[in-house]
Amino acid sequence: MNIIYRYFPYLEAEQKARLEKLEKIFITWNSKINLVSRKDIENFEEHHLLHSLSIAKFISFSPGTRVLDLGTGGGLPGLPLAIVFPQTQFILVDSIKKKIMAVEDMINELGLKNVVALNTRAELLNDKFHFVVSRAVTHTSTLVKWMKGKIRTDQFNIIPNGMILLKGGDLEDELKSLTLPYHTLELSGYFTEPYFSAKSILYIEMKK
């Protein structure tokens, strides 16, 4: 966990303990069902935990913020963010039931009270959220369509409500289809590891 603590030196003892426990539980579950590539599980801290927590470098969610993790898979980026932001409510959604079962177990084992996991599809959600986070789920234009009308209008964070997407590679084609205000940020500005050289955050402002 040294790589996590190097970039997030302010974490409290309970947060550190939960992140360490999350790694162990996640690896155990990954041996049963494919949450992330089994070839990549040895890089879990850097490629998955730290990647998820890059959102915490971009924004510090205000208490009371409601965040949807769309297509959470094995709970990424939602679970690490929920550990770092205990006063923020996270709703983790995935259409694959067995993955949500794993996430629910991790939530219980970690004792997290600010997380709910739902086995459903994005387009079926009736709730509204301040922010949507996601990790390479589908084309950005599709995500925007799914989330239309699902963004809350009350604003109390440092940036307007919207979507914070973890992306990799060239975004040129995806950005061409966007009609909403957006901003991209290369993760190499936060982390020096080569893995992050082609990774970025795409923030899309969605006021309503």
Q: What is the per-residue pLDDT across 165-177, written as a single tens digit (0 to 9) for each?
A: 999 988 888 888 8
Domain 2-205 = CATH 3.40.50.150 = yes
Q: Name the CA radius of gyration of the chain, rounded.
A: 16
Q: For residue 175, what are its two tokens? A: 């950005």
Distance CA 201, CA 135 (A): 10
Q: Kindly list the domain boundaries of the chain, sorted by start residue.
A: 2-205
pLDDT in tens, the chain (208 residues): 999 999 999 999 999 999 999 999 999 999 999 998 888 899 999 999 999 999 999 999 999 999 999 999 999 999 999 999 999 999 999 999 999 999 999 999 999 999 999 999 988 899 999 999 999 778 898 899 999 999 999 999 999 999 999 999 888 888 888 899 999 999 999 999 999 999 999 999 997 5
Largest CA distance in the chain: 44
b vs e for 63-98, b when ≥16 Cβ sit within 10 Å of the residue's Cβ?
eebbbbbbbbbbbbbbbbbbbbbeebbbbbbbeeee
Burial class (CB in 10 A: 0-12, 13-18, 19+), 156: exposed
pTM score of the predicted model: 0.96
CA 76 from centre of chain: 5
